Structure 1
Amino acid sequence: MRIAVSGSIANDHLMTFPGRFADQLIGDQLHTVSLSFLVDTLEVRRGGVAANICFGMGQLGASPILVGAAGQDFEEYRAWLDRHGVDTGSVRISDLLHTARFVCTTDADHNQIGSFYTGAMSEARLIELQAVADRVGALDLVHIGADDPEAMLRHTEECRTRGIPFAADYSQQLARMGGDEIRALTEGAALLFHNEYEKSLIETKTGWSPADVLARVGTRVTTLGARGVRIERAGEPDIEVGCPQEHAKADPTGVGDGFRAGFLAGLVWGVPLERAAQIGCMVATLVIETVGTQEYTLRRDSYIERFTKAYGEEAAAEVVAHFG
């Protein structure tokens, strides 16, 4: 199974604030907020949702195809992804703009305040998925993640026109989207990814009920934070999967991308949805234990040992048969 992952490619600047944002905010003065946080640490890391997902898939041996736009400063990042099993041959390089940048501060309660500079990401709308398919042979699924909004709409429409199954996953772009855009990005998706808050926001903005959403997508995947994930399909019982116990909570940035990496790798392997969700939850656990979205190391023996402890020997036996 060939999966292309479209979305942002970015450099992350991650900082930690030792206090709580909530203690610095005054309820009746929120309309005039002007705050500066003295942070303890700064980590400059590779990021972007599409690159994060591809990194995890690559470590699992799932050979993902990265689709997105970056700047001339991408070459070192490209070499890193290539070394970790990612096909970067369909990344568009801008002649004028820098690679996108995410600047995020996390407080003691793991709440986050972030800003995102789009940069070269704005040129993702110029990428033709058919050219990607022609280069690699064929595409079985396109995961359409947070990206330039025009690119997301264009990729979705091209998938529909060409009959390519697609996964809708708007995440950070959901806040700026209206109901019409969300409906256009959702209709006919093979998979719809979101967290609990995004689930409510989708239903509020579109006016669709949960049943309406399920009537329009094949499978709905809701991440539940520390409680794991819920998978819904019309006319089928829900599937709920918990998370393995983490060794520590170092940084929540990129945890959702880690889950998607494992889940999509499970689809490449052809395992059942429950097993794919378990694979994803295990990768997400590795991400939260590490500062940075691509700094974790996925070692086969350690992964299988922890997976077995969390989900049992039968589940582990099915996964180990595919693990590279």
Structure 2
Amino acid sequence: MSTLICGSIAFDSIMVFHDRFRNHILPEQIHILNVSFLVPEMRREFGGCAGNIAYNLKLLGGDPLIMATVGDDAGPYLERLDGLGLSRAHVTHVPGTYTAQAFITTDLDDNQITAFHPGAMTQSHLNKVSDARDVRLGIVAPDGRDGMLEHCRQFAEAGIPFIFDPGQGLPMFSGEELVACLQLADYCTVNDYEARLMCERTGRTPASLSGELKALIVTRGGEGSEIHTGGQRIDIPCVRPAAVEDPTGCGDAYRAGLLYGIEAGLDWALTGRLASLMGALKIASRGGQNHTPRRDEIAERFREAFGTTLW
């Protein structure tokens, strides 16, 4: 049985400006801003929430099935999926579009200027959950707005439990739409900022929102995470990473841990700890899909971090 991952596939073009933006942006001239940054260092990474989550779930030994939309330039990404053994049966090509992509320029103070082109992602509603077979669990991760709303409804109609993961797409939804998605979902995961925004949009408290779900998971970066379930809060510690290289994709790695734990029937304490470990393994490398721990190495790191076995 597969885990259906509805979300984006994207390219991330990351450029490094060997100076500081503040040396070239004059506050008194911001109304006529016209600047150019020389970026001699550049790399292109495979990304997108669906791609990243599937990559990490595959590392854990899961069976991820990606549902996403891509453009005319998706060739290298599709070849990568083939090489990783990830099915692209539900990766839909939208002719005349580009694959979603982010252009990120970082300065020496780690400030970032990002431009994001959604491209084919805006057509994610073309994909239907009912087209996938033998699906036991799912997730609706950041994607085109209409696609996210439709996939929530379709998972619920199919009786497939799923995680609602609004992420950076959360501002696209009204309070009423967020509540509707939570009522359809079995689980929801957000970071602490997104949790506050969701409460502001809906006019409800975290305790009230968690009552709509089997579990509400809130990540807090280096402070760990919280799982609200059954009227209780389970605190999950942060795992100390081997190095801190790049936070890009850490949330997606965390979500892969959640999906694996739910599908495997692990209790919430183990599930949260596995998710925390996956985020720590990812942050030690650049890009969302360049860490390569084997399954036995993940189990060993889990034992070292928590003093207990995982499988």
Give 1:305's aligned amino acid: E
**C-alpha root-mean-square deviation of aligned residues, in Å?**
2.4
Equivalent residues, number: 311
Structure 1 equivalent of residue 51 of structure 2:
51
How many Å separate the matches in 1 of 2:19 and 2:281? 25
Residue 186 (structure 1) aligned to one of 179, 182, 188: 182
1:60 equivalent in alignment to 2:60: yes
1:283 equivalent in alignment to 2:282: no
Structure 1 equivalent of residue 219 of structure 2:
223
Give 1:216's aligned amino acid: E
Residue 260 (structure 2) aligned to one of 254, 261, 265: 265
1:210 equivalent in alignment to 2:206: yes
How many Å separate the matches in 2 of 1:29 and 1:174? 32
CA 1:282/1:95 → structure 2, altered by over 3 Å: closer, same or farther?
A: same
Residue 298 (structure 1) aligned to one of 274, 293, 302: 293
Match of 1:230, SS state, is strand
CA contact (8 A) 2:153 2:184 kept: no
Structure 2 equivalent of residue 254 of structure 1:
249
Structure 2 equivalent of residue 76 of structure 1:
76
How many Å separate the matches in 1 of 2:24 and 2:162? 42
CA 1:245/1:130 → structure 2, altered by over 3 Å: closer, same or farther?
A: same
C-alpha deviations, 1:59-101, integer Å up to 9, x for none? 2110111011112332332232233342221111112212111
Unaligned 5+ runs, structure 2 = none
Give the CA deviation at 1:176: 3.2
CA contact (8 A) 1:63 1:87 kept: no
Structure 1 equivalent of residue 129 of structure 2:
129
Give the CA deviation at 1:114: 2.1
Match of 2:73, SS state, is helix
CA 1:191/1:23 → structure 2, altered by over 3 Å: closer, same or farther?
A: farther
CA contact (8 A) 1:188 1:218 kept: no
How many Å separate the matches in 1 of 2:118 and 2:81? 20
Structure 1 equivalent of residue 172 of structure 2:
176
CA 1:203/1:30 → structure 2, altered by over 3 Å: closer, same or farther?
A: farther
Give the CA deviation at 1:297: 0.8
C-alpha deviations, 1:174-213, integer Å up to 9, x for none? 1333223322322232111110100000000111112220
Q: State the TM-score, normalized to the length of structure 2.
A: 0.90
> Taking every aligned residue pair, what percent have the same amino acid on both sides?
33
How many Å separate the matches in 2 of 1:191 and 1:77? 29
How many Å separate the matches in 1 of 2:298 and 2:246? 19
CA 1:83/1:268 → structure 2, altered by over 3 Å: closer, same or farther?
A: farther
How many Å separate the matches in 1 of 2:21 and 2:100? 26
C-alpha deviations, 1:233-289, integer Å up to 9, x for none? 1423x1112222222221111111111112212222222122122222222112111
CA 1:233/1:195 → structure 2, altered by over 3 Å: closer, same or farther?
A: same
1:235 equivalent in alignment to 2:242: no
Give 1:165's aligned amino acid: P
How many Å separate the matches in 2 of 1:33 and 1:287? 36
Structure 2 equivalent of residue 161 of structure 1:
157
Give 1:220's aligned amino acid: L
